[in-house]
Every structure is written in structure tokens, then in C-alpha cells.
Structure 1
Amino acid sequence: MSILKEKRFLLVLDDVWNENGNGWDALRAPLMVAARGSRILVTTRSLRVSSMMGTVPTYSLKCLSDNDCWSLFKRLAFVEGDSDVHPDLVMIGKKIVNKCKGLPLAVKTLGKSVTL
């Protein structure tokens, strides 16, 4: 990893589930030669992983409210976000949103797949 020596970087590790602390140490060790200001951003749903990464306090994202989920779904699923065009499908859409439990990725995935 001499290529990183004295260079700044931003490394994003998204949706990490591996709880093997030795593996994390092995990955991080060669990155320690990088320039000051380099960062590693880790996203995870595992509290164990976040505490293992550890240099700053964990920041937990909250789920979206039902209204925010519906707003996102509506914008993706209906042409120009206009649910008035299909009022009979609003109830079905709200049931779909409810099953997403406030998770924006689920809402986005389902909203894009049912464009009306």
C-alpha cells in the first residue's frame, strides 16, 4: 500500500456485516501511512461492527416517518408524484409503504418498481 503513502483518501465501506476484528485490523493497518485528513466511512446495521470500527461515536440513523415514506414512494411510483391520477391505488401504495417499516431503501426500491 505504498501507493497511499502521504496521500489523502476517502474510503467508503457500505453495509458492512463482517464482525471479525482481526480482518478489520488487517485492512486498516496499511491505510495508516496515508496523509492526515484521510477518512474511512463505514455504514452498517450491526452495533457490534460499529463499536469495533470505533474512533468516533456511532451515529444511528432513524427510520423515516410514515408521512415521509409515503412522500418518497409517491414521488417514485406515480408519474410526477401525482397520486390523484390513480386514487384507487393510493390505499395499496400506503399498505406497501407500511410494510417497509420506515426503511428508505425498501421504499425507494419498491417505488421504482411500480411506476404508475
Structure 2
Amino acid sequence: MPAPREGTSRAGGSKRKRKEFDQEPYVLRNAILAEKNKIAEKMVEIMAEDRVVLQQDRKFRVHSWSPFHIAAVNHLKAVEENRMAFMSFSSDDDKISYLENMIGVKIYEVFSAAYARVRSTVL
């Protein structure tokens, strides 16, 4: 049997079988990439700034437009890394501590100062 001529792609087997064999890795790769894209979309949705800020407002019972609230929202909206760090903490106390340390405003000091002002005007 003579060897295939140079410049031809005929190395053995039928063209149809080679085509089916060549497509199998691509089908598997496409399935893996599709699953990876779904996971990436979920992560983007989880880290969306609106969702993180909404979670911050709900969980900690932060008074809207208080100095702590404004500073926390600005911090979380600034950079995606801030949102990722905030979401990485599992407990609410850790999340509050993170925000207090990063923005330099204590949540309870703000409330106690406001309470002291109100109390002094009433008395």
C-alpha cells in the first residue's frame, strides 16, 4: 500500500469517522464552558451592588440615610472587591465590624449620639 501523498490529509480511516471523533472533545468542552458561564453569571448576580446594599439594609436594621448608612453604601458601591469582602463574612456581627472598620463610623455610636441629642432637647 503506497503512503499518502504529501500535502493531503488522508492518514487513514473514513472522513466521517474522523469528523465524529474530532467533534467529541469540542462537545465536552462546550458543555463545561456552558456550566462555567452559568456559575459566573450567578456570582455576578450575587455580587451586584444593589443586592449587597439591600442585604446590608435588611439584616442590620440600619436607619436609612444615617451617617453610617451613607458611608456603608458609598463603600460598597465603590469597588467590587469591597462587596466581595463584605459578602465573605458569614455572621452579621462580622459584617458590621467590617463596615465599621472600613468606613470609620460606628453604627451604635451614631445611634447613641442621635439618642443623646433627642433626649437633651426633650429634657
TM-score by length of 1: 0.36
TM-score by length of 2: 0.34
Return the structure number with greater helix share.
2
Return the structure number with greater strand share.
1
